[in-house]
Structure 1
Amino acid sequence: MTQSSVHGEGTRPGGVRRTRGAGAGGPDEDGSGADGGHGAGAGSGGRAGRRHRALRWSATTLAVLILGTAGAGYLYYQHLNGNIEKGERSSGDSKARRTGPNAAGQTPLNILLIGSDSRASAANVALGGGKNHRDNPPLGDVQMLIHLAADRKSAAVVSVPRDTRVDIPECTDPQTGKKYPATNTIINESLSRGGAGCTLATWQNLTGVYIDHWMTIDFAGVVQMADAVGGVEVCVNQNVWDRPLPGVPGGSGLKMKAGRHKVQGEQALQWLRTRHAWGSDPLRARAQHMYMNSMIRTLKQQNVFTDTGRLMDLAEAATKSLTVSEEIGTVKKLYDLGMQLKTVPTDRITMTTLPTVEDPQDRNHLLPAGADAEKVWAMLRDDVSFDDKGGDGTGGDGKVSGGGSGSSSSEKEPDEPSGDSAAADSEIGVLVRNATRSATLGPVAGRAGTVAQALVRQGFTRAATDTSAALSEERTVVRYPSAELAGDARRVAEALGIPENSVKESADVSAVTVVVGADWRTGTTYPEQETPEAGSLPEDADALNGSDTGKCMDVYAPYRW
């Protein structure tokens, strides 16, 4: 898309002080690094005992080294655990479910990375300004979903520009217990309405993708990480100075000459925050993708896992910089996560930005771009690689590795058909719910009634319209409340042409319920869904390959010098 103006500029408040979540460490930590037996004398244990203790001590030391403690032992490992702040994984109302395994038993991994504009600390105020707004809720100005393919051979990153208007669900702040009603506003406000868990729920509802974990980083954290890696190379085609101009306040302060430069510390933060000088929020996402790709290449070139000093610096910076969802809130779990990401070659990493269009309600805001945006989400849900070097998410059997039908993580696939068959069609009670509203289109009036009448004509005489308010779900699903109704739900799905993998048990319904999603806006037979091909990203997704070192940012003319 062509960007001719700076989207979403305005003065925003700062952030509240973050509070530490669950205590350091966790019940899963084995504490084996505290083994002191290696110093025992040559008494009753004998040579075999000493050898056993030596091997055990060596294994423990190696594990500690790998985890980034660089031989400082168990106490330093616990110190790193104590650095990590944690929070609730999801604090909002979301119906997304985990993707099922492919034929090889593999499942994808999805991580939401959030850059907070919090001014909660003196360091953040110094770097980000806004000291008069220090106690205001933080906003999630950078939001990226990292998708690691089920086979761990490729990774995709999708950024949603901060000023994109979306549905934010009802959320509860896990720290205060305050409930925030559902609303429709720009996505960066989700962080202030229940923390990162609310942002995660917002993304799940927007995409239909189950998100395993979230991580947040603030201004000071960006500076620490950039320093720890020794700087990251970036490139501009013209001299750039992102500064206030008449009628356009703000600016990151980034000033550099045309060409390639290694940025670290505050200058790295300026690069990531720059928006005016690039011309739009989507172009800021492109600059952030260039930075991330460059950092990944830098880390791979440095081979930090063989450099004890660099590894210590990175471990300290990372654990101090990140707040993470509680289920990955230990050094060991973060390390295991990093090892999965490390396996992906740089030329199989694809950075993208969600295709968007100008919001007709506010030209400074954006909306997801209809079919192009949905295609990106479909590729993630079906684990189809963003590049053309991989497969289609089938695991080799031609069947997609589990659809994101937008159902709850508490929902489960129906049991295999058994002797408990469906009742007669005329005896099956069915409710039909209208959930056709999407991010860009309103609900289709009367849609539930149309589908209910189609069922009645097929003999489901107890089919009726659910009178609940119109909802929003990306994909159509049939839900049922308990196992004895699984056969009835499958029979209803069959009658409408809805695939069996979209039939789910759910505590959210009291009867067999057809939820007509945004993918079924017309007709009385569910349309066949096409699986996108590998590498078939929309052109306006602005894809950038991780191994591409030749890209430079163009500078918007008013910010050249």
Structure 2
Amino acid sequence: MTQSSVRAEGTRGGVRRGAQDHAVAREDGSGRSGDGPGSGHRRREPRRRGRRVLRWSATTLAVLILGTAGAGYLYYEHLNGNIHKGERSSGDAKAQKSRANAAGQTPLNILLIGSDSRNSDENVKLGGAKYDRGSPPLGDVQMLIHLSADRKSAAMVSIPRDTRVDIPKCTDPKTGKVYPATNTIINESLARGGAGCTLATWENLTGVYIDHWITIDFSGVVQMADAIGGVDVCVRQSVWDRPTAAVPGGSGLKLTAGTHKVKGKQALQWLRTRHAWGSDPLRAKAQHMYLNSMIRTLKGQNVFTDTGRLMDLAEAATKSLTVSEEIGTAKKLYDLGMQLKSVPTDRITSLTMPNVQDPQNKDHLVPDGANADKMWQMLRDDVPFDKHGKASAAKKTTAEATKAPSAPDDQIGVTVQNATATSTLGPVSGRAGTIAQALVQKGFTKASKDVTGGLTAQRTVVRYPSAELQGDAQRIAKSLGIPLSSVKQSTDVSGVTLVVGADWRDGTTYPKASAPKAGDLPAGSDAINGSDKGQCMDVYAPYRW
């Protein structure tokens, strides 16, 4: 900048001399300031010299501009080089993208995963146990960030790490190792094919299509917390999350009662603390409080318009995060941040999936049936979790496009599968046969049941393999009262296939559920509004000091 300023001053000096000569010429009305050829020549010289200075300065300025642009490009590529990327989904998932509303907008769902990886010196130092080094990481923090189609509201939904769920068949994209489907706690999904397997697990559980995933490990949390400059958190009693005679381990968090700004390692301790709050769901609540406070802090700092702060945050974020490959550039991550920034804090709701104790293991949890299903339906239908929005405001209902079936009812082939099992309940025996028989009675005489066992699906769906069978699949759905939005094309089937899901456990007509209303949250969700600054954690008695 100093060189540029000096050169500009020289340019202005040259212009002033040329201007003075031109003024003299105008005074005698001749267009020249002297009579002889020699005098005219001498008076034209300053003009040429001024023009040379102008040309030289313009060239210099162009070089500086191009140099600055080049430096910006190199820095952008540097940020891109920091980012680690992976496959979006590595598991067997069936969720479909939400349809666009009348304005052409769709919701955006991002799965945030906190990894307990100890596979670096820094992570071992921050996370304890050296004997865990080299072990597959577990996803101890799992949170779905949902941005509404109109980008006017958002939700952050957690599933506690010890929740038992169905994990689908997954293939590790790095090694090619195939992991069979299993039923175990959800934090193990990360070790069975990476973040893409965790994403597939969420999609199958919720029926919500997830656009992207982002993972962060221990050291990443510390870097991000330092870049932000600290986040305010609150405890009602003095807390020390330490080993006790009854329970080993602990995060090491030690704070006096009241509000504190935590950053670096202390921020990580806050996010990892579980024993001192009393349960894993309460740890999720503490994490929600931290993230809400962080969003308020970033909005208050105007970090998105402060170039210096933004660069610091960009450096930390790109070094700290691993992301699904379709958002693997600094610009795309910045765009995601700007979309979240646009949501007012009083339209952000943080909540935890309603859960109950696992009947198979008192130390584990399972989804709380109807309450959990209601939460997933609100996400699928893009219904705001806060009361400031309108029910289904971002989802305009339009007439479903229908196609004529390719054959009469008695010539339409359809296979019925029983996928009514859930993490909490076993399958309803004979469900496929019951629905197949109901179809036969309706005139679909080629309907048959599939005897394959162990199938699970959150929602009932009719699948068809190719476009010419779409009308057949729609005809089957209509006859049973299944909405046409649940008719999906899929390469996983060879003919029209009706998958009877956990949402249809009895009867032969698909149950019509009442549409949830904005702000009508299910019981047990422990919701927090993003603008609530008065949230404070209670400390479990053994961890007070």
Q: CA deviation at 1:338?
A: 1.3
Superposed displacement of residue 77, structure 1: 1.1
Structure 1 unaligned regions, length at least 5:
1-38, 65-70, 401-413
- Letter paired with 1:207: T
2:185 is aligned to 186
Q: 1:471 to 1:297 in 2, by over 3 A?
A: same
Q: Return closer, same or farther for 1:452/1:396 CA change in 2, 3 Å cut-off.
A: closer
* 1:464 maps to amino acid: S
CA deviation map 1:246-304 (0-9, x unaligned): 12000000011000000011111000000000000000001001000110000001001
| Deviation sequence 1:293-328 (CA, Å, 0-9, x none) | 110000001001332321121111000000000110
| C-alpha displacement of 1:538 | 1.6
For 2:112 and 2:62, the matched residues in 1 are separated by 41
Summarize the Cα distance change of 1:122–1:389 in structure 2 as closer, same or farther, 3 Å threshold: same
Partner AA of 1:103 in structure 2: A
Q: Distance in 2 between matches of 1:370 and 1:164?
A: 13
**3-state SS of 1:493 partner:** helix
- Aligned position for 1:549: 533
Q: Aligned-pair distance for 1:539?
A: 3.1
**How far apart, CA to CA, are the structure 1 residues paired with 2:313 and 2:163?**
33
3-state SS of 1:367 partner: strand
- The C-alpha deviation readout for 1:332-362, integer Å capped at 9, x for no partner, is 1111111111110111100001111001111
Specify the alignment match of 2:442 in structure 1. 458
Question: Within 5 A, what are the aligned runs for 1:44-59?
Answer: none
Residue of structure 2 aligned with 1:477, choices 461, 464, 479: 461
User: 2: distance between equivalents of 1:252 and 1:534?
Assistant: 37
CA contact (8 A) 1:476 1:514 kept: yes
Please tell me whether residue 516 in structure 1 is matched to residue 516 in structure 2: no
2:29 counterpart residue number? none
1:374 aligned counterpart, secondary structure: helix
Gaps of 5+ in 2: 1-7, 12-49
Aligned position for 1:406: none
For 2:149 and 2:386, the matched residues in 1 are separated by: 15
Q: Judge conservation of contact 2:381–2:395 (CA < 8 Å) in 1.
A: no
Q: 1:43 to 1:84 in 2, by over 3 A?
A: farther
Q: How does 1:89-104 map to 2 (within 5 A)?
A: 89-104=88-103
* TM-superposed deviation, 1:471: 1.2
Q: 1:425: which partner in 2? A: 409
Distance verdict in 2 for CA 1:468–1:396, change over 3 Å: closer
The whole-number CA distance in structure 1 between the counterparts of 2:77 and 2:386 is 40
Larger Rg over CA atoms: 2
> Which residue of the partner structure matches residue 489 of structure 1?
473
- 8 Å CA contact 1:434–1:516 kept in 2: the answer is yes
Q: Over the residues paired in the alignment, what is the CA RMSD in angstroms?
A: 2.4
Q: Quote the Cα distance in structure 2 between the aligned partners of 1:152 and 1:497.
A: 32
Instruction: For 1:103-252, list aligned pairs within 5 A.
Output: 103-252=102-251
Point out the more displaced range, 524-533 or 540-549: 524-533
For the residues of structure 2 that align with 1:333 and 1:96, how far apart are their CA atoms? 24
Does the CA-based 8 Å contact 1:80-1:331 persist in structure 2?
Answer: yes
Mapping 1:196-345, distance limit 5 Å: 196-345=195-344
* C-alpha deviation, 1:394, in angstroms: 4.2
Aligned length: 495
8 Å contact 2:173–2:193 — kept in the other structure? Answer: yes
For residue 74 of structure 2, give the secondary structure of its aligned residue in structure 1: helix
* Conserved 8 A contact 1:354-1:541: yes
Q: Does 313-322 or 530-539 show the bigger shift? A: 530-539
Is the partner of 2:455 in helix, strand or coil? Answer: coil
8 Å contact 1:422–1:491 — kept in the other structure? Answer: no
Paired amino acid for 1:343: S
**Cα distance, 1:397–1:205 mapped onto 2, change above 3 Å:** closer
Name the amino acid aligned to 1:513.
T
| CA separation of 1:57 and 1:473: change in aligned 2, threshold 3 A | farther
2:512: which partner in 1?
528
Q: Does 1:501 align with 2:500?
A: no
Residue correspondence of structure 1 range 365-376 to structure 2 within 5 A = 365-376=364-375
Task: State the distance in 2 between where 1:56 and 1:294 align.
Answer: 42
Aligned amino acid, residue 325 of structure 1:
S
Give aligned-pair identity as a percent. Answer: 72
1:136 Cα deviation after fit: 0.5
* Alignment match, 1:379: 378
Higher helix share: 2
State the alpha-carbon separation in 1 of the partners of residues 64 and 445 from structure 2. 70
Aligned amino acid, residue 514 of structure 1: L
Residue 395 of structure 1 deviates from its aligned partner by 3.3
8 A contact 1:243–1:252 mirrored in 2: yes
CA contact (8 A) 1:277 1:559 kept: yes
Q: Partners of 2:277 and 2:417 in 1: how far apart?
A: 44
SS across alignment from 1:455: helix
Matched to 2:133, the amino acid is: R
1:376-421 deviations in Å (ceiling 9; x for gaps): 1110000000001112224374569xxxxxxxxxxxxx9x445x54
Aligned equivalents of 2:435, 2:464: Cα separation in 1: 17
Post-superposition offset of 1:511 = 1.2
* Paired residue type of 1:518: A
Larger RCO, structure (CA 8 Å, separation 6 or more): 1
Shift in Å, 1:375 = 0.6
String of CA shifts for 1:106-128, please: whole Å, max 9, x gaps: 10000000000000110101111
1:102 and 1:393 in contact (8 A); partners too: no
Secondary structure of the 1:277 match is: coil
Residue 54 of structure 1, CA deviation: 6.7
Which secondary structure does the structure 2 equivalent of 1:540 belong to?
coil
Shifted more, 170-179 versus 530-539: the winner is 530-539
Question: Does the residue aligned with 1:142 lie in a helix, a strand or coil?
Answer: strand
Cα distance change on mapping 1:57 and 1:432 into 2, 3 Å: farther
- The secondary structure found in structure 2 opposite 1:473 is coil
For residue 530 of structure 1, report the CA deviation from its aligned partner.
2.0
Task: Quote the Cα distance in structure 1 between the aligned partners of 2:446 and 2:73.
Answer: 65
**Alpha-carbon distance change, 399 to 271 in structure 1, aligned in 2, over 3 angstroms:** farther
* 1:434–1:471 contact (8 Å) kept in structure 2: yes
Report the CA distance between 1:534 and its aligned residue. 0.5
Secondary structure of residue in 1 paired with 2:259: strand
**Bigger CA drift: 124-133 or 148-157?**
124-133
Deviation at 1:529?
A: 2.4
Q: State whether residues 382 and 395 of structure 2, in contact with CA within 8 Å, keep that contact through their aligned partners in structure 1.
A: no
Partner Cα separation in structure 1 for residue 174 and residue 230 of structure 2: 35
Work out whether residues 206 and 439 of structure 1, in 8 Å CA contact, stay in contact via their aligned partners in 2. no
Change (3 A) 1:556 1:447: same
